[in-house]
């Protein structure tokens, strides 16, 4: 499938937008404060699940300085999954950590962001979500009974976003924690649906809040993450790419919820690795559900989050006066493009074609990677086939064989020259 | 990618132009292919929005659903599509010949060929087939008589297209990627316009320059089935939300489809210029035979395929798919030295010069009594030989002659010829350049699966026969 189109649809399913619209106006204004609050105290999980607290005011100030006057942009499960998919990319790590609006930045740099979403896809997603959640989540309960084999007749419904109008992320997260804790400790063990839980996650040494895009369900002392997606399951099968994207995102929520449980002193294993995926059935709007085992995605996420360089280590390597400020005049960026280009280029990136489907900056990074002849820009498989060689120019030199290859490239040089010989033989 | 293809990708970047990865065309190309460019409503799984379809460049038919959310209009679209596609297929399906042989069978004289832009187009074609093949032509929600037939034929074409070497339904980007290597990564090569830009850049531009322009959705709208979100926002939504203006809607969708239509025919031209590979005719004969079978099945009143394969049918199908894949890979290599070079680079083949032939050698094979002719052929090669002694090898020059590797040391390979030494057959001669591989176009023989009635309990026991239900026929569409 055409990558560009893929985005449109993926984004269509991202309901983040509509949640923001419904209760966004208020906490938006609190963003700045919230971020500072979240970064002042940095929780970082040890291997043992203990929480380490760092004071990181200095790099919080640095992040704010890098972002300049613009409002910070939130993380969501998709962006964490994307970051975890390319843990070696400092550029993405810094931009995300500083809450830079990548869409706007890349547009100002002169590259179209191909992450637009079709209004039809948005409408469709909203319609489907409201069908699923109608009548106090009646469909959700029916489906949960079916896929989890429970004999639950009814379940309490809490909207974790419902904490009074003017509350910021910190307040809402504490509320989520309280609701989840109450459900977990409930002596009657009543089934509970908790909508819009606001979870947070330690990423590269700082905390981020996740868009509340799932439902948490508790019954028989087990918690399940319930994700609603608008792609169809037809005859029991759905688009592989979309299902795996959904699994990667759901894994982020499971991970964050387990993290929260550990902090609350609850057993993290009470959050199941079986995620409930709710989708339209066949060609209808009627919801159907299936269980998605996300153990693999959880393990990958955990490993990748560990591999992420701590953001302060990356910051130490960057120019001290680095600024990605768009210098917004109202809604218009006034920062000279050449200046911004230089600033973004100062943060090393790790471009691979997979980025095109995951990162707003991809077309900028691709241009840069192509200009310096990166082999990875043609595809990871090409780079792997030519193991050890990283630029097109080196590969061409090795193929040409004018001078003896350096020691580390001796093996691949021999194979490349062999390929050239048989190719010439055939073409001649 | 193979090492040779990676090598070609590096060269493509160096030259700013795609590199041929084949010397011949491995897929049959019909004299009259039906180009089908479908568009889908964003956010929907199988709701058609529009399509451009036709069997010649100058005969583009534009079909538009004026209100994609209205099921009656969707089925009207399907009926209109059926009136183009079904007669096109039936024209070929009706003309049969009987092939004499050990057991005579029917085969169509020629077969239809439908070309879609990309793998997304294939998947959407399957969904159109799935959503129409069970529909009833009478009772509630009745559809036009041709609609379920369209569903059955599209289902058949898609199932066939999963077999490597079938050319009855093809995605053009796959076809181009098979024959050319560009500097685009796998993810980017799904863009028809960008791929063609690398293969045949317009005057004055290099491949990558042209590809950059081709990626702009305003210049080259996506080849479907998904539309450009910008088009949806700025053009389509205002048109659908306002009072109906069918003429403007048609023109807007024509604007989205026409560039792809032109690209599809340009791709056909480029592919036509490449000569047919040797194995193309035999593979096309297989498509023609399967078409005749499907035609007979429908004519006899056979049921459409169910929603799910039984365990037995799935196992059989998987085995057949794997077999087709293996013989297609091998067949390509036997037909095309450039494809064989790919296998040589991976160590699955070697080429060299015959230095010695012992044509009169006779041995008594193990367990035998009489001495039989088992000539030895010695080949000197500069390729690394990675086969163990005893490996069965074949040569494209003498595909019927079975040989086995006796020894390979320091670039000297000794082969023993075991079979295929009939009167007219020749042995390799000293001084001849030969190539040997363990690929076999005949495929690998597998043990046959038990009869459906004897399906073991591991596979759910004998499957129940599929009977379509009213529920299938009246499946809701919303």
A332-380 per-position pLDDT tens digit: 899 999 999 999 999 999 999 989 888 999 999 999 999 989 999 999 8
A6 with B226: Cβ contact below 8 A: yes
Among chain B residues, the shortest Cα distance to A2 is held by B190
Closest by CA position to B311, among listed B472, B156, B465, B461: B461
- Residue B192: per-residue pLDDT: 96
Closest by CA position to A252, among listed A290, A199, A179, A184: A199
Going from N- to C-terminal start, the domains of chain A cover 3-114+305-354, 119-297, 377-427
- Residue A49: per-residue pLDDT: 34
The distance of B179 to chain A (nearest Cα, Å) reads 15
How much is the ipTM here? 0.86
Question: Phi and psi dihedrals of A187, rounded to 5?
Answer: -65, -30
- Do B226 and B287 fall into the same domain? yes
Give the tens place of pLDDT for each residue, B276-297. 999 999 999 999 999 999 999 9
- Residue A165: per-residue pLDDT: 61
Question: Which of A235, A370, A395 lies closest to B10 in CB terms?
Answer: A395
- Residue A35: per-residue pLDDT: 40
**Cβ A225 vs Cβ A253: under 8 Å:** yes
Residue B478 has pLDDT above 60, yes or no: no
The distance of A1 to chain B (nearest Cα, Å) reads 5
**Ranges of chain A with pLDDT below 50:** 1-55
Does a structural domain hold residue B218? yes
Give the tens place of pLDDT for each residue, A73-108. 877 888 888 888 888 899 998 898 888 999 899 999
Does a structural domain hold residue B478? no
Query: What confidence tier does B83 reach under pLDDT thresholds 50, 70, 90?
Result: very high
Contact residues, chain B, for A354 at CB < 8 Å: 187
Does a structural domain hold residue B13? yes
Does a structural domain hold residue B329? no
3-state SS assignment for residue B105: strand
- Do B162 and B26 fall into the same domain? yes
- Residue B247: per-residue pLDDT: 94
- Do B99 and B174 fall into the same domain? yes
The distance of B101 to chain A (nearest Cα, Å) reads 38
B187 with A357: Cβ contact below 8 A: yes
Among chain A residues, the shortest Cα distance to B182 is held by A378
Does a structural domain hold residue B371? yes
Which range of residues forms the domain containing residue B411? 349-437
B2 with A385: Cβ contact below 8 A: yes
Among chain A residues, the shortest Cα distance to B194 is held by A2
* Residue B372, domain CATH: 2.40.30
Q: Is B217 on the interface with A (CB under 8 A)?
A: yes
The distance of B190 to chain A (nearest Cα, Å) reads 5
Residue B325 has pLDDT above 50, yes or no: yes
Does a structural domain hold residue B455? no
Closest by CA position to B358, among listed B406, B411, B422: B406
Does a structural domain hold residue B468? no
Q: Does A205 or B118 have the greater pLDDT score? A: B118
Mean pLDDT, rounded, for B50-59: 96
Domain boundary among B309, B339, B360: B309
- Do B91 and B173 fall into the same domain? yes
In total, how many domains does chain B have? 2
The distance of A233 to chain B (nearest Cα, Å) reads 9
Paired with B80 in beta bridges are none
- Residue B326: per-residue pLDDT: 93
Among chain B residues, the shortest Cα distance to A387 is held by B3
Domain boundary among B309, B340, B369: B309
Q: Which of residues 104-133 of A touch B (CB under 8 A)?
A: 112, 114, 116-125
B338 with A12: Cβ contact below 8 A: no
Q: Which of A422, A424, A427, A428 should one mutate to test binding to chain B, selecting the residue with the greatest count of B CBs within 10 A?
A: A422
The rounded mean pLDDT for chain B is: 92
Q: Which of residues 175-194 of A touch B (CB under 8 A)?
A: none
The distance of B260 to chain A (nearest Cα, Å) reads 13
- Residue B221: per-residue pLDDT: 94
- Do B264 and B386 fall into the same domain? no
CB atoms within 10 A of CB B234: 11
- Do B373 and B231 fall into the same domain? no
- Do B73 and B194 fall into the same domain? yes
- Do B357 and B249 fall into the same domain? no
Size of interface A-B (CB pairs under 8 A): 182
- Do B220 and B159 fall into the same domain? yes
B9 with A418: Cβ contact below 8 A: no
Does a structural domain hold residue B317? no
Which three-class secondary structure string do you get for chain B?
CCHHHHHHHHHHHHHCCCEECCCCECCCCCCCCEEEEEEECCCCCCCEEEEEEECCCCCCEEEECCCCCCHHHHHHHHHHHHHHHHHHHHHHHCCEEEECCCCCEEEECCCCCEEECCHHHHHHHHHHHHHHCCCCCCCCCCCCCHHHHHHHHHHHHHHHHCCCCCCCEEEHHHHHHHHEECCCCCCHHHCHHHHHHHHCCCCCCCHHHHHHHHCCCCCCCCCCCCCCHHHHHHHHHHHHHCCCCHHHHHHHHHHHHHHHHHHHHHHHHHHHCCCECCCHHHHHHHHHHHHHHHHHHHHCCCCCCCCCCCHHHHHHHHHHHHHHHHHHHHHHHHHCHHHHHHHHHHCCEEEEEEEEEECCCEECCCCCCCCEECCEEEEECCCCCCCCCCCEEEECCEEEEEEEEEEEECCEEEEEECCCCCCCCCCCCCCCEEEEECCCCCCCCCCCCCCHHHCCHHHCCCCCCCCCCHHHHCCCCC
Contact residues, chain A, for B14 at CB < 8 Å: 392, 396
Mean pLDDT, rounded, for B102-130: 95
Instruction: Say which residue the tokens 């046959």 belong to.
Output: B448
- Do B189 and B67 fall into the same domain? yes
Mean pLDDT, rounded, for B211-238: 92
A2 with B226: Cβ contact below 8 A: yes
């Amino acid at each position: 499938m055409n990558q560009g189109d893929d985005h449109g649809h993926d984004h269509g399913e991202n309901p983040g937008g509509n949640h923001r619209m419904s209760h966004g106006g208020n906490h938006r204004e609190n963003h700045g404060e919230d971020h500072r609050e979240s970064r002042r105290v940095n929780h970082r999980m040890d291997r043992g699940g203990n929480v380490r607290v760092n004071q990181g005011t200095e790099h919080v100030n640095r992040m704010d300085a890098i972002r300049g006057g613009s409002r910070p942009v939130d993380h969501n499960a998709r962006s964490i999954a994307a970051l975890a998919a390319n843990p070696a990319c400092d550029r993405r790590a810094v931009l995300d950590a500083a809450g830079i609006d990548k869409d706007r930045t890349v547009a100002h740099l002169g590259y179209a962001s191909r992450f637009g979403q079709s209004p039809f896809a948005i409408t469709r997603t909203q319609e489907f979500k409201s069908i699923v959640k109608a009548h106090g989540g009646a469909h959700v309960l029916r489906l949960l009974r079916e896929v989890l084999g429970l004999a639950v007749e009814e379940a309490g419904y809490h909207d974790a976003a419902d904490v009074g109008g003017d509350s910021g992320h910190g307040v809402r997260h504490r509320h989520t924690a309280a609701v989840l804790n109450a459900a977990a400790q409930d002596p009657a063990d009543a089934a509970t649906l908790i909508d819009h839980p606001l979870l947070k996650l330690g990423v590269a040494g700082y905390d981020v809040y996740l868009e509340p895009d799932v439902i948490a369900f508790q019954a028989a002392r087990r918690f399940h993450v319930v994700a609603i997606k608008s792609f169809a399951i037809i005859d029991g099968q759905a688009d592989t790419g979309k299902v795996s994207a959904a699994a990667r995102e759901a894994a982020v929520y499971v991970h964050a919820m387990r993290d929260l449980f550990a902090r609350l002193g609850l057993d993290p294993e009470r959050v199941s690795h079986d995620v409930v995926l709710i989708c339209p059935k066949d060609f209808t709007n009627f919801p159907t559900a299936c269980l998605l085992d996300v153990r693999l995605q959880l393990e990958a996420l955990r490993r990748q989050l560990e591999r992420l360089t701590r953001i302060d280590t990356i910051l130490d390597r960057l120019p001290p006066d680095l600024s990605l400020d768009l210098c917004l005049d109202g809604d218009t960026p006034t920062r000279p493009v050449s200046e911004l280009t230089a600033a973004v280029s100062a943060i090393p990136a790790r471009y691979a074609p997979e980025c095109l489907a995951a990162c707003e900056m991809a077309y900028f990074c691709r241009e840069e990677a192509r200009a310096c002849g990166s082999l990875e820009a043609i595809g990871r498989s090409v780079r792997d086939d030519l193991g050890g060689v990283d630029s097109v120019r080196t590969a061409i030199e090795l193929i040409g064989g004018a001078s003896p290859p350096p020691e580390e490239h001796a093996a691949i040089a021999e194979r490349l020259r062999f390929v050239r010989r048989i190719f010439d033989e055939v073409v001649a | 990618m193979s090492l040779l293809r990676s090598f070609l990708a590096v060269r493509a970047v160096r030259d700013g132009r795609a590199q041929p990865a084949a010397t011949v065309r491995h897929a049959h190309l019909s004299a009259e292919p039906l180009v089908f460019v479908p568009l889908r409503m964003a956010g929907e799984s199988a709701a058609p929005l529009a399509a451009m379809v036709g069997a010649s460049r100058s005969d583009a038919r534009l079909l538009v659903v004026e209100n994609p959310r209205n099921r009656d209009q969707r089925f009207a679209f399907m009926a209109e599509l059926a009136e183009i596609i079904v007669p096109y297929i039936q024209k070929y399906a009706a003309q049969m010949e009987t092939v004499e042989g050990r057991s005579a069978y029917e085969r169509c004289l020629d077969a239809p060929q439908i070309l879609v832009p990309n793998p997304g187009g294939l998947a959407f074609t399957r969904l159109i087939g799935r959503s129409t093949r069970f529909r009833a032509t009478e009772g509630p929600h009745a559809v036009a008589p041709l609609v379920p037939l369209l569903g059955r034929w599209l289902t058949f074409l898609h199932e066939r297209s999963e077999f490597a070497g079938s050319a009855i339904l093809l995605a053009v980007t796959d076809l181009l990627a098979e024959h050319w290597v560009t500097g685009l990564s796998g993810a980017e090569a799904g863009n028809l316009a960008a791929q063609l830009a690398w293969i045949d850049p317009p005057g004055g531009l290099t491949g990558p320059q042209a590809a950059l322009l081709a990626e702009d959705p305003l210049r080259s709208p996506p080849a479907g089935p998904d539309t450009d979100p910008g088009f949806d926002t700025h053009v389509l939504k205002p048109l659908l939300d306002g009072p109906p203006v069918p003429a403007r809607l048609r023109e807007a969708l024509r604007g989205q489809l026409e560039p792809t239509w032109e690209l599809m025919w340009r791709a056909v031209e480029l592919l036509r210029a490449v000569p047919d590979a040797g194995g193309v005719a035999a593979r096309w004969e297989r498509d023609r035979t399967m078409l005749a079978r499907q035609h007979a099945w429908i004519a006899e009143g056979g049921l459409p395929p169910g929603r799910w394969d039984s365990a037995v049918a799935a196992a059989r199908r998987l085995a057949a798919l794997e077999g087709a894949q293996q013989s297609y890979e091998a067949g390509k290599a036997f037909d095309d030295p450039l494809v064989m070079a790919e296998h040589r680079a991976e160590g699955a083949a070697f080429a060299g010069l015959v230095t010695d032939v012992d044509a009169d050698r006779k041995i008594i094979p193990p367990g035998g009594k009489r001495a039989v002719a088992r000539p030895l052929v010695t080949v000197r090669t500069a390729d690394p030989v990675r086969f163990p002694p005893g490996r069965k090898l074949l040569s494209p020059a003498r595909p019927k002659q079975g040989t086995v590797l006796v020894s390979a040391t320091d670039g000297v390979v000794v082969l023993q010829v075991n079979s295929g030494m009939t009167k007219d057959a020749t042995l390799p001669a000293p001084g001849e350049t030969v190539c040997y591989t363990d690929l076999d176009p005949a495929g690998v023989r597998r043990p046959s699966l038990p009869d459906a009635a004897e399906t073991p309990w591991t596979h759910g026991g004998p499957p129940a026969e599929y009977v379509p239900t009213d529920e299938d026929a009246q499946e809701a569409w919303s």
